[in-house]
Amino acid sequence: MGTQRHARVMRVLLAAALLALAAPIADAARATLRAARPGGTPLVLEARSTDAEWIIRVTEAGAETQVITVETDLPERRPFLADADGDRAADLWVPVIGGNASTAWDLWVMQPDQARFRRAGEISGVGFSRDQAGRLVALGREGCCTVSMLFHRIGADGVLSEVFSVNRRLDDYGPQRCTGNAIAEPAPPAVVRAACALEAGRMPGVRLGPP
């Protein structure tokens, strides 16, 4: 009898431990987001994750307008909303891959008049901002001593593309410690100078990111 009672107690304790471990994961696997949009009521996004994807249902005034499914390696990290293109409508950022401090996000830009989101592309970094020209900037690290600011543009077709970058060495104080690099177009000298003058860790324009 003592052995059976001990076994029952151990099963109860094990079940309680498993529930305690599962609770934070279950809590993190669901989120309700309200996406503001100019000239209309906010869209409501009900997000839930499985082991391999985020499923996000978009509703307008209670009516479903879209279901977004994104494969992910980060089902425990929640999506967030931030205006990526400066049109005052909240855009959807869904986490897909994590590595060191950097996270890759699937970016979906809101189409306010259609109460829907359109996928723009994937963007990765340790921090993000939107500069005065409306470009989306991703801050990244390269090794121990170099940081990069990768400038993106969201085109009229809604596609996210890399435009140019500014690379800055933190262990070098010479004239080449901070330089602009062309990708789709040359890095404007004024933008390079302004980015190079920022304190370490600062980013141009309005900082974006999860709450």
120-139 pLDDT, tens digit per residue, is 999 999 999 999 999 999 99
- Which residue from 103, 114, 148 is spatially nearest to 35, judged by alpha carbons? 114
pLDDT at 17: 35
pLDDT at 13: 40
Residue 171 predicted with pLDDT over 90:
no
Q: What is the mean pLDDT of residues 100-108?
A: 89
pLDDT at 6: 45
> What value does the mean pLDDT of the chain take?
85
Which of 22-26, 73-77, 148-152, 156-160 is predicted least confidently? 22-26
Q: What is the mean pLDDT of residues 180-195?
A: 96
In whole angstroms, give the CA distance from residue 110 to residue 90: 7
In whole angstroms, give the CA distance from residue 108 to residue 95: 11
Alpha helices in the chain (DSSP H): 2-28, 189-196
pLDDT at 201: 77
**The dihedral of CA 151, 155, 159, 163: what is its sign?**
negative
pLDDT at 173: 64
pLDDT at 15: 40
DSSP 181: E
- Which secondary-structure segment (H or E) carries 41? strand 40-49
Alpha carbon 10 to its chain centroid, in Å, reads 42
CA 45 to each of CA 36, 59, 159, 182, 198: distance values in angstroms, whole numbers, following the listed order: 11, 7, 22, 37, 36
- pLDDT tens figures, 145-159: 788 999 999 998 899
Helices (H) and strands (E) in the chain, counts: 2, 14
